[in-house]
Each structure stands twice: as structure tokens, then as C-alpha cells.
Chain A
């Protein structure tokens, strides 16, 4: 009695699918995801928005964009979200700023997670000398004060997008690494890892096939919380003028400009600030929901007894 591969189509729902199901049912998560999709959309169609209102992001409308006394204009029919100190369209600048924030946030987080996971798994698996060296390295990185160091770096090299991505990744990877290392240390002792060794699997295969899928949940949770942190860090860096160079708009540097005008131009502070807060809150809510959905305690459902199954 042999069955062909085609007949083995009875798929069961594994831990990933179960987690996804839980996420789907979480209303807060859905709302957050929808919000983020909208944000992503804005970033994607920023040029289209610019064309639609016929204002470029760096275009200064010194005549129609400022009041006679040189103060930015409040939201009106031409400038839907008002103008900034140089008569530029706030709406278009926010849209372009979304690109910067998302790009830096996602890229820096991805980089940090990649490096951190690699280092963490290697340190956790090999132990001994390799582990000691890598752990100490992570500890050093964790001890460095972020902003001050970023300042020093930028002072010498000059601000740019690349710098802000690098700096943020630089400071975040170690916390990922520490978590991954701890998980790896515990997973390493599981019998299925020993089984893989008895089968003759190479360390690389074990790390990739056995350990990685099991550290993935923690990594994913941490990533969803890392991203908003990265976005806020980027905003802070550009607030201080350490990230993108003007006239490229970013929420941070818009807020920096707005500092001098907050008394007279509330929209100049409010809209970029709102964009920032909405995006960050959405990521945080999503992160919390992802963490609940991936909660390993839920995966250990009571297994069927032999009598029931057979």
C-alpha cells in the first residue's frame, strides 16, 4: 500500500499559520496594519502627490506661499496642509518625508537584525572562545551612548542618509544579538539538535535549518519594536541636522524648522508631528499584537493522547 506524493495533500496548520490566524483576528493589529499600508502608500506615491498639487517638495513659493510679513500660510485650498518657513508645501514635504522615515527605519532595522541574528546564532552555537569574543563585542556596542557617538561621527564625516542608517544599525544590532544568543543557547540543548548532529548535519545546516526557525519568533517580535525605534531615532537625528541634507524633507528636520515658528504656525509642528506619532504608534501596536500572536506558550497546546489519535 503506497501512496503517491500527490495524495499526501493533507496539510495541517503549523505554528506559523496558527500565529497568523491569531493575528488576523486581532482588531488592533488590523487597524495598525491598515494604517501602515496607508503610510506606505503615501511614501510610494509621493511624486504623484507632488504632481497632483503642482508643488515640488523643494519648491519655494516665496510669493504665494508666505504671508506679506513672511510668515507661513495656514492650510488653505492651494496648500492643503499649509506652508513652511520658505513657502514650501507642507503636504508634499510630509509625503516625501515618509519615504525617508520608512526607508531608514526599515533598512536600519533590517541591517541590525541581519547582523545581530548572525552573530547571536554563531556565538550561541559555538560557545567557548568564539562566544566570549562575540559577547564582549556586543557588550561594548551596548555600552556606547548613541546620540553622542552619532554626533561625533557626523561631525567628521558630514550628515547623510547613509550615515543615519549606518549609525542606527550600528547601535541596534547588539541588542538583537544578545537576545538571539540567549535563545540559541537554550535551543542548542534540545534533542532535535542532538539528533541533527547524530545524522551528520554540518554546523551551518543545524544553525540554519534547526535553530533559525526557532529563534525567528523572538526576532520577529523584536524587529517590529525595533522599527519604530529606528524611525524615532532617524527623526531625532534629522532634528539635529545629522541625517538627510536639506532641502530633502524629513519629519525630523521639518520639526526642527518648525521650532522657531511654533507660536505662529501650529500646522508646521502639528502635521509632521502627527505623521510621526501615527506611524510610530501603528508599528508599536502591531508589534504588541505580533508578540501576543507568537507567544510560545500558546503553541504548546495539549497534545492528543495515543488513545484518542489511533
Chain B
């Protein structure tokens, strides 16, 4: 098993390296004068030259690449062009917001999605199933930002007009400060991600469950006299969950890298919004830093899923 995990680890490192290199190539291959950007439009030639030297931009490309990799290996993501603030600091500040968003919605969509899928599978072709399937289809077709806007309109605005300010957008309260407020501000964002993703998961779970429920060993279990609920939960669900777990790991990974759109819609100060703002200001180190971090998170999540599979399924270890 160690060999398998080492292989996966090596692979993950490779992916991160590929992304980092691509980021570097983009950064340097595109013709724009980085030093001038930092120094500002009005800067004199001397200032620009000074900035260039300071940033090491006058060195040959391959040396810059090695420096870049070296910095990355130490975990240093560089500094903002505009504020000179360390990107690491910025990221550390934003990450809890994104993480809260990801984790909360993750739990929500898992419960909703798998639950709906199981119910739909059990009550196949009944009205309940049709309703669930249709709803799933609807949400599945909507981009999260649209759901977010709709939620804002109906659950915030309309209620607000009626005098209830339940779920205001636009701010974030840390969990450590006040759990209740934390949840309050995050409810709509959680919902807007969760509803769409739950739709996908419910479809996934439903079809996996239907496949499993058709298997012979389920028939045997029924013949043996096991109750339906026991069959569903102990036998069928276990087998159906494998694809769900894999998918969950991957989704969480990408979400942790920045639930960009949701953060923009709800004005949450997370990694995603940071990156979007950095585009307008052309603050490349922030964008690059967040990209690399996000890839690391996705890859780490993938690795976690592999670990989980290796623990659960002995066949995987023998690969």
C-alpha cells in the first residue's frame, strides 16, 4: 500500500509542478512590462529600472524560473504588485472565509443530494420520484450565481421588504466571533452552492442506487427476510456511495480553491473574490498565487480520496 500511496504522491507533485510552470510561463511569456506595472504609469525610467532589478526581472529566464520554484518550495507565494503585501498573508486571511463556505455547503449538499437520491431510488416512478428528478434537473441546469441571485431576491429582499432581515449579504463574521452570525451570513451562499451540487449528487446517487438495488445480492437479502430499511442503508447505500465519495473529494477540493462566483455574488471576502479583484487591478502575483494554491488543494483532495479508497478497498492497494 505504501508503494501505491507514494505513486499517488509523486503524481500529485507532478501536477502541481505542471501548473506552477504553466503559471510561470504565462507570467513571463506574455509581453507586458511587469516592472512598469508595479512602478506605476508615471514612473521615470530610473525607477522602473530599479524596480526591475529589485524584482530580479533583469535576470535570464531560467534563473528566474529556478527562483520561482525555490520560493514556491518554501511556500512563498510572492508579493502583491499593488500593496506589496505578502500573498501568503492575503491568502491566510481569505482562506477561512472560503473554507467556511466550502465546508458548510459541502455538508448541506451531501445530506440533501444523497438523501434525495436515495428517496428517489426507493420510490422509483412514484410522484415523489418524479418531483425530485424534475427539481434536480432544474437546479442542475442553473449556474450557481443565478441561484444565488434568485435566493437573494426571494429569501433576502422580499423578506426584507416585509420587515425581516434574515439573510443579509455582503459581510462575513468569523466563526470564532459569533457562530450564529457566521451561519446567518453564510446561509444563502451555502444554499446557492448546495442546491446546484445536490442536484448533481441526487442524480448520481439515484442511478447508483438503482443499479445496486437491481443486483442479485439485494434480492437474496430480501429473500432472507431483512427489512427494507436495513437493506437500503446497510447494503445498498454502502456500494452506491463509492462514486459519490470520489466526486465529493474532488468537488471539495475545487471549492476550497475558491467558490469564486458565489463569493462575488454575495460579496464574501474569500479567495475567489480576491482573485477576481486582482484581475481588475492586474495584480498578477495574487492571481498566480491563488491559482497554484487552488491546484494544490484540488490535488490534495484527490490524494485524500485515493487514500480513502485504498483503506476501504483492498483491490486498489494491489494495483
Among residues of B, the one whose C-beta sits closest to the C-beta of A148 is B294
Are B138 and A277 closer than 8 Å at their CB atoms? Answer: yes
Residue A172 lies at the interface, judged by CB distance under 8 Å to chain B: no
Are B294 and A145 closer than 8 Å at their CB atoms? Answer: yes
Q: For residue A155, which residues in chain B have a CB less than 8 angstroms away from its CB?
A: 278-279, 282, 284, 287
Residue B140 lies at the interface, judged by CB distance under 8 Å to chain A: yes
Among residues of A, the one whose C-beta sits closest to the C-beta of B153 is A262
Distance between A27 CB and nearest chain B CB, rounded to angstroms: 14
Are B284 and A156 closer than 8 Å at their CB atoms? Answer: yes
Residue A263 lies at the interface, judged by CB distance under 8 Å to chain B: yes
A23 CA / B289 CA spacing, docked (Å): 49
**Digit string of B13-37 for contact with A (CB within 8 Å is 1, else 0)?**
0110011000100110010100000
**Digit string of B111-139 for contact with A (CB within 8 Å is 1, else 0)?**
00000000000000000000000000110
Are B264 and A240 closer than 8 Å at their CB atoms? Answer: yes
A273 CA / B153 CA spacing, docked (Å): 13
Are B290 and A148 closer than 8 Å at their CB atoms? Answer: yes
> Which stretch, B40-48, B58-66, B218-226, B255-263, touches the partner chain A?
B255-263
Q: For residue B288, which residues in chain A have a CB less than 8 angstroms away from its CB?
A: 152
Distance between A282 CB and nearest chain B CB, rounded to angstroms: 9
Q: Which of A146, A232, A235 has the most CB of B within 10 A?
A: A232
Distance between B18 CB and nearest chain A CB, rounded to angstroms: 5
Q: For residue B15, which residues in chain A have a CB less than 8 angstroms away from its CB?
A: 139-140, 143-144
The secondary structure that dominates the A interface is helix
> Which stretch, B83-91, B102-110, B141-149, B235-243, touches the partner chain A?
B141-149
A147 CA / B141 CA spacing, docked (Å): 18
Residue B295 lies at the interface, judged by CB distance under 8 Å to chain A: yes
A292 CA / B30 CA spacing, docked (Å): 47
A258 CA / B27 CA spacing, docked (Å): 33
A152 CA / B287 CA spacing, docked (Å): 6
**Digit string of B268-303 for contact with A (CB within 8 Å is 1, else 0)?**
000010011011001010011011001100110010
Among residues of A, the one whose C-beta sits closest to the C-beta of B302 is A143
A47 CA / B153 CA spacing, docked (Å): 32
Are A280 and B141 closer than 8 Å at their CB atoms? Answer: yes
Are B153 and A148 closer than 8 Å at their CB atoms? Answer: no
A258 CA / B14 CA spacing, docked (Å): 42
Are A277 and B146 closer than 8 Å at their CB atoms? Answer: yes
Q: For residue A154, which residues in chain B have a CB less than 8 angstroms away from its CB?
A: 279
Are A140 and B18 closer than 8 Å at their CB atoms? Answer: yes
Are A144 and B19 closer than 8 Å at their CB atoms? Answer: yes
B30's contact among A139, A145, A156, A242, by CB below 8 Å, is which?
A: A156
A152 CA / B24 CA spacing, docked (Å): 11
Are B137 and A281 closer than 8 Å at their CB atoms? Answer: yes
Q: For residue A147, which residues in chain B have a CB less than 8 angstroms away from its CB?
A: 258, 260-261, 272
A143 CA / B288 CA spacing, docked (Å): 17
Residue B157 lies at the interface, judged by CB distance under 8 Å to chain A: yes
Residue A157 lies at the interface, judged by CB distance under 8 Å to chain B: yes
Among residues of A, the one whose C-beta sits closest to the C-beta of B275 is A151
Among residues of B, the one whose C-beta sits closest to the C-beta of A288 is B137
A15 CA / B14 CA spacing, docked (Å): 44
Residue B55 lies at the interface, judged by CB distance under 8 Å to chain A: no
Distance between B206 CB and nearest chain A CB, rounded to angstroms: 12
Distance between A82 CB and nearest chain B CB, rounded to angstroms: 15
Residue A120 lies at the interface, judged by CB distance under 8 Å to chain B: no
Given A155-B278, A277-B146 in contact, is the A148-B138 Cβ separation under 8 Å? no
Are B261 and A152 closer than 8 Å at their CB atoms? Answer: no
**Digit string of B146-161 for contact with A (CB within 8 Å is 1, else 0)?**
1001101100010000
Are B265 and A144 closer than 8 Å at their CB atoms? Answer: no
Residue B254 lies at the interface, judged by CB distance under 8 Å to chain A: yes
A280 CA / B219 CA spacing, docked (Å): 38
Q: For residue B272, which residues in chain A have a CB less than 8 angstroms away from its CB?
A: 147
Q: For residue A240, which residues in chain B have a CB less than 8 angstroms away from its CB?
A: 260-261, 264, 276
A149 CA / B302 CA spacing, docked (Å): 18
Distance between B141 CB and nearest chain A CB, rounded to angstroms: 4
Distance between A134 CB and nearest chain B CB, rounded to angstroms: 15
Additional pairs, 7, CB under 8 Å, beyond known A140-B14, A232-B142, A276-B143: A146-B254, A147-B260, A151-B279, A240-B261, A255-B145, A276-B142, A280-B141
12 contacts between A and B (CB under 8 A): A143-B302, A145-B294, A145-B295, A145-B298, A148-B260, A149-B291, A151-B275, A155-B284, A236-B145, A241-B279, A259-B265, A276-B142
The 6 closest A-B pairs by CB, nearest first: A280-B141, A148-B294, A281-B141, A152-B291, A156-B30, A232-B143
